[in-house]
Every structure is written in C-alpha cells, then in structure tokens.
C-alpha cells in the first residue's frame, strides 16, 4: 500500500488532530540532516578576485575616485603608484572623468603626467570637449596650457550627419558663455570663419543662451541659415524649445520669421506643434509685420 495520506492509520491520526485544532502531523520519513558547521565549509575561490595591493586595483580605484571628484582619494592613490593614464573597460581615463568635476582633481592628475589628449571617444569626443560641456573655465585653461587640441572635431554619427562638434560647439550647446569667450580668446575657430560661427549660433539656440548668440552674431554668423542636419534655423530651434527670451532676441536682431525649411515648417509651425502658444503669438505678429 502506498504510504502517506492514503494510509488509513495516518489519515485517521490526521483527522483527529484537525478536529482538535492542531496542525496535521508530519508524515515525512526523511531524517533531518545533521547540523553542519558553516564556518568550517571551504568557500570556492573567486577567480576574478585580485589582491587590493595590485596595480589593477589601484588603477580601478583611481578611476572611481576621479568619477566622483574625490581629490583626497586621488592624491592618496597616486602616491601609492596608481597610473594617471589608466583606462577602464570603456577606454576612459581618470582625467576624462575628473574634468567633469573639479579643478583640484584635474591638477593632481595633470601633475602626475596625465595626458590632456589621452582619451578620444568612439565618435571623437576629447577631454577638452568634456570640460567645455561642464563649463569649468579653469579646467579648460589648464588643458589648453598643456596643448590640448582646441579645434578638434567629433566624427559624424552616421553618413548624413554634418553636425560636427568642437569644444566651442559643446560649450554653446550646454549654455557656457564664459567657456565660449575663453576658447575664442585662445583662438578657437580663428581659421574657419562664418561657417563655424553660424553652426555655433545654432548650438547656442539649443541651449537658449542669449549671451552666446550675441557673441556669434558679432562674429558674423548667419542668423537665418538652416542647419543641414536638424533642418531648422536658429529661430526655429528656439521656438521649438519654448525659449521666449531667445525668440525675442533673434527677432530684434533680424531673424526672418517667414523662413521655411524643407518640410514646409516655419518657426511659428514649430511653436504651435510643441504647444508654446505665447511664442506662437509673438511669431505670428512678426510674420504679419514682415509681409507689410
């Protein structure tokens, strides 16, 4: 006979316990496992674990400290022999992280011979470009003093992409007027001219920074040029982004509200499309006045 629930004796015993409100009996025939001393069990060795005093560990900790801008930790690790030009699995160096944080961390790494040109991303982004994004003028100054390539350009993301970036473009697109002024003083774009200024103007329109747009117009940027990649003029960009102050600035400085792109859109169309009704009203009045 099958033992367990179908055994009449066990069934009867179970029913009696249930009637008394007791839990059913344990019919398990297995013997409990003997107690085991866990501390005595030998854990398998982790093959990926490396001693904390190896170069690999020091470099890894240095990169982590640079990511967090921990200057004290960076200094400590450099004294222990960490490599200032080490790279992580993404090929990023400590300096490429530090320029996004603070000048003290940067100076410590540069003092340990970290290369200002030691990192270039898959699409050509340099350490100087990262510093320009972050808006740290003092860091940008330190890198330029060590011969960082001020006019280096990114690579296109795809074949039809003509919207390349320099450190100047990044500073404009992130709204960093102080960095833009400094880079121009150091000669950024001096050999390019109007084409670059027009491109930077469009990037400044993305951030809506009026100060940078003013600088680019003074340099001779074309206020109505339509970007070949975005298919938008500066006025279309600021209208699409809902940047009212920038719209007013561009209109006062000669931006044509009736410019049409290849899709048949005007700045007014983009304002309406993105539900920026106040800006749309301003642009509609400007279009009507332009027709007079």
Predicted local distance difference test score (pLDDT) of residue 2: 46
pTM of the entire predicted model: 0.76
Residue ranges of the chain with per-residue pLDDT less than 50: 1-5
pLDDT digit string (tens) for 59-109? Answer: 999 999 999 999 999 999 999 999 999 999 888 999 999 999 999 999 999
Question: How is residue 86 written in tokens?
Answer: 């080490």
Go through the domains of the chain in sequence order and give each one's CATH number. Answer: 53-115 (1.25.40.20), 116-222 (1.25.40.20), 229-292 (1.25.40.20)
Predicted local distance difference test score (pLDDT) of residue 61: 96
Predicted local distance difference test score (pLDDT) of residue 120: 84
Predicted local distance difference test score (pLDDT) of residue 185: 93
């Amino acid at each position: 006979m099958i033992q367990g629930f179908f055994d009449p004796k066990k069934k009867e015993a179970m029913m009696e316990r249930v009637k008394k409100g007791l839990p059913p009996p344990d019919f398990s025939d297995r013997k409990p496992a003997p107690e085991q001393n866990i501390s005595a069990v030998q854990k398998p060795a982790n093959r990926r674990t490396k001693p904390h005093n190896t170069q690999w560990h020091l470099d890894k900790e240095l990169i982590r400290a640079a990511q967090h801008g921990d200057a004290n930790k960076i200094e400590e690790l450099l004294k222990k022999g960490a490599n200032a030009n080490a790279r992580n699995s993404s090929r990023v160096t400590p300096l490429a992280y530090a320029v996004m944080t603070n000048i003290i961390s940067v100076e410590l790494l540069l003092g340990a011979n970290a290369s200002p040109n030691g990192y270039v991303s898959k699409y050509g982004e340099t350490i100087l470009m990262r510093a320009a994004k972050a808006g740290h003028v003092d860091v940008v100054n330190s890198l330029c003093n060590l011969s960082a390539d001020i006019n280096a350009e990114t690579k296109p993301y795809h074949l039809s992409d003509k919207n390349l970036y320099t450190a100047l473009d990044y500073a404009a697109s992130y709204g960093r007027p102080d960095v833009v002024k400094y880079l121009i003083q150091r000669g950024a774009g001096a050999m390019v001219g109007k084409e670059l200024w027009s491109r930077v103007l469009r990037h400044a329109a993305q951030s809506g920074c009026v100060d940078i747009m003013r600088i680019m117009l003074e340099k001779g940027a074309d206020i109505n040029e339509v970007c070949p990649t975005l298919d938008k003029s500066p006025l279309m960009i600021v209208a699409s982004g809902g940047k009212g102050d920038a719209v007013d600035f561009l209109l006062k400085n000669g931006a044509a509200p009736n410019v049409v792109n290849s899709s048949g859109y005007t700045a007014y169309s983009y304002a309406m499309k993105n539900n920026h009704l106040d800006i749309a009203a301003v642009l509609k009045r400007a279009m009507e006045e332009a027709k007079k």
